[in-house]
Structure 1
């Protein structure tokens, strides 16, 4: 077993309780903007809330809550990222009770059971959830009060309708009106800041309940304390150093611990300005107008940003210039000259000009995207964590950041790799103050996750590499065990597959045959536009055979780079996106359930599905269901249509009989030979392209060597000159 503890590189702010965020913000950053947002996306002006405003609104929220429920109650919040969401979270989690952030993208039928499980007595929500909450209040025995957060979705007509509907409901409030019930304005002017806030939770008291990704029944409810959250904030800020008075763009959902701890709580601890993003479509616009310094992102978002930059360069006819600039930036940096941000000042200007740090998490980010942003002069710090660890366990920091890894354990967090030999992969175990208290109402699952010594068993597999940086190799739950006993981690293969620009997503799994053999199978989500570019068929029908050939070549290339037992033996594709979480991770369990249902309906085995488009099977299955539901009754028109098709079929059969068996076999062989020829031709063309690329790389390497020689010669000349000057001075 390898055990490493994260180093403390910097002095972290003294945040030991969530109320310290408010008190430190009030004393150090009083007039500085804490949160900025638009009431409507079309608004030109921003609403800016200072750290003093934030403190006062949290106090008002706590005073108002005391009037409707006793401290210690559970308060649920569901909605888009907003200032009101943040005020609710801080007011409850900093001492009043237990906050229960819920995923706003969950279906209504899933939110209900989660609210039941949480035991929340008050629900704070956005307008789209009003009818659901209104219904749940009638049926749910624990929900006593509801507070609607005003947002752009709340139109004047809808507000009037809701007011009329709830005019006799004394337990319903609009958020801004609810704060006016606080009656604490005099106290805010006369009493000390510390005295007005609720006392902090005890060390073992729960301050937050967060549901992990999954359906309402399978999602686990993680119980976190203030000690958990604040220790993670201190560990994070003990590992990184940023400029003063920075701005962060809040893009990811706040209910997720990654954004919550890194993009919300940690930013407040630094005295940063948090700009709430207007939506995913407006990320580029918001980065530019807010001159953002740091963003918290997931791989899907970063890949989208990379694609947008490349497409814009292509549109302007500057794609080659972009590639050459990247080569130049890397070559200069190799010899110790960093001119990245100067070379790409025009690109960076489109991102606001000040974007310097991207913290990436929730899933693995491919090396191409990492190198792309690194070449632009933007530091991508890739991290690893899980809700049960509040959430960050490790990450690249501003001292050590090895691309392709999830960095060192953050300050004061101890990580163990449960392996037999140093350097080998093993399960990642975590020991830290940030490890959760447990799962709500599930002591057995808690014992399974946290052992008697206090180690959190993550279920993730990783290894320790250079400079104690960790690499994630897979999940123990998704691990494929072959008949030979050898183990394969799907994540490793998925990473290789999604590096191909025409593969949007992939899911690798082991499919057991009737003989007991396990077939490594991949479901591929193909980007139609990119595959057309690849095959050269920009217009017209794109045949399944064309795509199958392209995928076959790709799979062969990948398999050649792997040990034989890891090779992908079966694959099929789809144009439909997979089911994902709000942080853009594939919901593996739900996808596997859908695939299992498809197998059962089609009765096809892995050999029949190899290289096939499974969308057509799904369509056929749907059509069959519709046909079955419609009954066996046939109209006269249908009978006539059947008779017509029968006549056509007979004529076709007669025509087919004229073709001899030998002729059919000859045509089939000719077709296969033609396909083999085109396939081999593509392979040869690609090999030729590879040779050309290698020649280009060699030429670039030669140029780099010449540059280095020139630089070294200049340095030697300077040294000689200094020596000569020294000799003259001595004389």
Structure 2
């Protein structure tokens, strides 16, 4: 199936089955479904309402919302009217909202709920070119988005030929959206993505996954992010039934109640699911606990090439019956596969999920590439290698530059950064190659492996290169460690800041009769320090001598996107962390007596 413009998906759906449920949302504890016909009519009426309101092709409208069917209604309505959609994360700062509003020149803003309305209204009121602020939820005194729908319906006959004319004039090269990258430093950049960028990426992954009409998929990653947005288009084009989770805290019950067959995620969510599973195992006693962790260890040895010996296969059959079957029950009993992207996935988690009968497959891409560049998939043999991000899509090119940077070229590469030609020239060279900023290699000439971010690699004073992300991911394999940042540029050795998995740490401390008033006191406890020394020591065994963590510090607060240490896509904001912990970092390398919440690993690794 070939699509050229995003709204072509709607006509494809309409032609196939207008009565099919396509978008579902939770209201008052139960699912409310929208058919293709309802989707089609809402989107078309919204487009006509915008035209009647005076909006023209090339105008821009921002949405700030959770995932919901209405997001799709307005997205497709904007698309067919030639309006450029500027979706924005709800969790960014007021300063960033103001910057994006002014930089993009949006004329309308649509928010989801009352809390966002109160936050955005004063910013919108102080932005001269914003003409109106609408809401999805009904809020007293606020304009409701349905007013645009009603306007379109009132003038539907008159506007039918007008809308058809506008649609015919929209090409694959026209800008469909400006997505502002969350970024780990500075203000975000507006990535201009065309209809063709999105649809070529949909076409590029079309045959990679088992998605069919009425396949049930759960959606919970923000639709304002390019990753979830593209797979949202893919799910619709494949006629899947999309269920939007109420929020991140309801993923498990929502997945169980809709009996999801698949979902897209980021590694952090998988890690949290794994942590909860391990926590439940820790609550078991006697033989049940022993069997649980035996199954977990067995699962981590799973080979996707299916070359485990006969004895292993017998053991796995027992483990699936006694332990892994319970996993499936918590997921609703019908989960088949999971697509992971946005950051590096721990290989052992992929093996563990495969052992449980759930295909956990990793892919790779960027906002600037709409987004997928490579992806593992299992619908055909020899296209999946754990520890890599999979084969390159068949409609794009990839090459590894002399310094190891991954370069790509093809119809998925962005049009450029909005109002920033100089920044565009920095990443797209004269031959059309987009410089990803990631370091990687091709394994067996086929599977792309990401080793680190080019800008994040650093040299120690001995001239040895350190790839921090690789070490950080190894540290995070410990259930005690939620996040870690490896440091040591121009220093004698590598060190780390560690943010614990406080949920698990509190439970562990309680079980071991460790009393504490707060996290600050907890991370200074000698028994806790001993545990973290042991966990870092395990990681060091997997590293070269120059990569090993010689000192670390445990911080007493979690790192989140809400508190500013992580980006909206849960990547470390290194500059923010460097500033926040400047004093602590200086003390790591000051060779002064260590603080109470210190950890030191001997230089010989013993």
Both structures adopt the same fold (TM-score exceeding 0.5): yes
Matches within 5 A, 1:409-448: 409-419=392-402, 426-448=404-426
Call closer, same or farther: CA 1:569–1:598 in 2, change over 3 Å.
closer
2:245 counterpart residue number: 277
Higher share in helix:
1
Higher mean C-alpha deviation, range 247-256 or range 106-115: 106-115
1:181 to 142, 151, 164: 151
1:567 to 526, 535, 548: 548
2:46 matches 1:61: yes
Q: Residues 570 and 607 of structure 1 are in contact (CA less than 8 Å); yes or no, is this contact kept in structure 2?
A: no
Give, in angstroms, the shift of residue 325 of structure 1. Answer: 4.5
1:268 counterpart residue number: 236
Call closer, same or farther: CA 1:560–1:46 in 2, change over 3 Å.
closer
1:357 to 337, 340, 359: 337
1:387 to 339, 352, 367: 367
1:504 counterpart residue number: 482
Q: Residues 474 and 492 of structure 1 are in contact (CA less than 8 Å); yes or no, is this contact kept in structure 2?
A: yes
Q: Residues 48 and 163 of structure 2 are in contact (CA less than 8 Å); yes or no, is this contact kept in structure 1?
A: no
- In 2, the alpha carbon distance for the partners of 1:209 and 1:266 equals 19
2:460 counterpart residue number: 482
1:287 counterpart residue number: 255
2:88 matches 1:118: no
- In 2, the alpha carbon distance for the partners of 1:208 and 1:499 equals 37
2:19 matches 1:31: yes
Give, in angstroms, the shift of residue 436 of structure 1. Answer: 0.4
Call closer, same or farther: CA 1:596–1:186 in 2, change over 3 Å.
closer
Give, in angstroms, the shift of residue 554 of structure 1. Answer: 3.6
Q: Residues 493 and 508 of structure 1 are in contact (CA less than 8 Å); yes or no, is this contact kept in structure 2?
A: yes
Secondary structure at the aligned position of 1:219 is classed as: coil
Q: Deviations over 1:538-581 (max 9, x none)?
A: 33255443333433344344334322222223321113112222
- In 2, the alpha carbon distance for the partners of 1:287 and 1:430 equals 35
Higher Cα Rg: structure 1 or 2? 1
Q: Deviations over 1:109-136 (max 9, x none)?
A: 3211211111001111123222344323
The two structures have a TM-score, normalised by structure 2, of 0.87
Matches within 5 A, 1:96-495: 96-126=82-112, 127-150=114-137, 159-160=139-140, 162=141, 173-183=143-153, 187=157, 195=164, 198-199=167-168, 201-214=170-183, 218-262=187-231, 264-317=232-285, 318-325=288-295, 330=302, 334-335=308-309, 344-398=324-378, 399=380, 400-419=383-402, 426-466=404-444, 468-495=446-473
Secondary structure at the aligned position of 1:292 is classed as: coil
Q: Residues 252 and 296 of structure 1 are in contact (CA less than 8 Å); yes or no, is this contact kept in structure 2?
A: yes
Which runs of no fewer than 5 residues in structure 1 stay unpaired? 1-12, 164-172, 421-425, 615-675, 677-682, 684-731
- In 1, the alpha carbon distance for the partners of 2:36 and 2:53 equals 27
1:93 counterpart residue number: 79
Give, in angstroms, the shift of residue 198 of structure 1. Answer: 2.9
Give, in angstroms, the shift of residue 227 of structure 1. Answer: 0.7
- In 2, the alpha carbon distance for the partners of 1:69 and 1:217 equals 35
Q: Deviations over 1:244-284 (max 9, x none)?
A: 4201111111101111111x111001000110101122111
Secondary structure at the aligned position of 1:576 is classed as: coil
Call closer, same or farther: CA 1:35–1:201 in 2, change over 3 Å.
same
Q: Residues 428 and 434 of structure 2 are in contact (CA less than 8 Å); yes or no, is this contact kept in structure 1?
A: yes
Q: Deviations over 1:381-404 (max 9, x none)?
A: 101111000011111112322112
Give, in angstroms, the shift of residue 215 of structure 1. Answer: 7.6
Higher mean C-alpha deviation, range 252-261 or range 338-347: 338-347
Q: Deviations over 1:55-79 (max 9, x none)?
A: 1111001000112233221011111
Q: Residues 300 and 584 of structure 1 are in contact (CA less than 8 Å); yes or no, is this contact kept in structure 2?
A: yes
2:7 matches 1:19: yes
Give, in angstroms, the shift of residue 592 of structure 1. Answer: 1.7
- In 2, the alpha carbon distance for the partners of 1:29 and 1:609 equals 71
CA RMSD of aligned residues (A): 3.1
Call closer, same or farther: CA 1:486–1:130 in 2, change over 3 Å.
same
Q: Residues 461 and 489 of structure 2 are in contact (CA less than 8 Å); yes or no, is this contact kept in structure 1?
A: no
The two structures have a TM-score, normalised by structure 1, of 0.73
Call closer, same or farther: CA 1:292–1:598 in 2, change over 3 Å.
same
Give, in angstroms, the shift of residue 491 of structure 1. Answer: 0.8
Give, in angstroms, the shift of residue 526 of structure 1. Answer: 2.1
1:613 counterpart residue number: 597
Call closer, same or farther: CA 1:403–1:280 in 2, change over 3 Å.
same
- In 2, the alpha carbon distance for the partners of 1:490 and 1:98 equals 38
Q: Residues 5 and 172 of structure 2 are in contact (CA less than 8 Å); yes or no, is this contact kept in structure 1?
A: no
Call closer, same or farther: CA 1:319–1:25 in 2, change over 3 Å.
farther
Give, in angstroms, the shift of residue 96 of structure 1. Answer: 2.2
1:526 counterpart residue number: 500
Q: Residues 572 and 609 of structure 1 are in contact (CA less than 8 Å); yes or no, is this contact kept in structure 2?
A: no
Call closer, same or farther: CA 1:574–1:62 in 2, change over 3 Å.
same
Call closer, same or farther: CA 1:95–1:486 in 2, change over 3 Å.
farther
Call closer, same or farther: CA 1:490–1:610 in 2, change over 3 Å.
farther
- In 1, the alpha carbon distance for the partners of 2:54 and 2:265 equals 37
Give, in angstroms, the shift of residue 342 of structure 1. Answer: 5.8
Q: Residues 361 and 382 of structure 1 are in contact (CA less than 8 Å); yes or no, is this contact kept in structure 2?
A: yes
Q: Deviations over 1:71-106 (max 9, x none)?
A: 221011111111111111121134421100001011
Q: Residues 110 and 215 of structure 1 are in contact (CA less than 8 Å); yes or no, is this contact kept in structure 2?
A: no
- In 1, the alpha carbon distance for the partners of 2:39 and 2:556 equals 46
- In 1, the alpha carbon distance for the partners of 2:40 and 2:593 equals 60
Which runs of no fewer than 5 residues in structure 2 stay unpaired? 517-521, 560-564
* Count of residue correspondences: 573
Call closer, same or farther: CA 1:220–1:34 in 2, change over 3 Å.
same
Give, in angstroms, the shift of residue 596 of structure 1. Answer: 2.7
Give, in angstroms, the shift of residue 612 of structure 1. Answer: 4.8
Call closer, same or farther: CA 1:440–1:109 in 2, change over 3 Å.
same
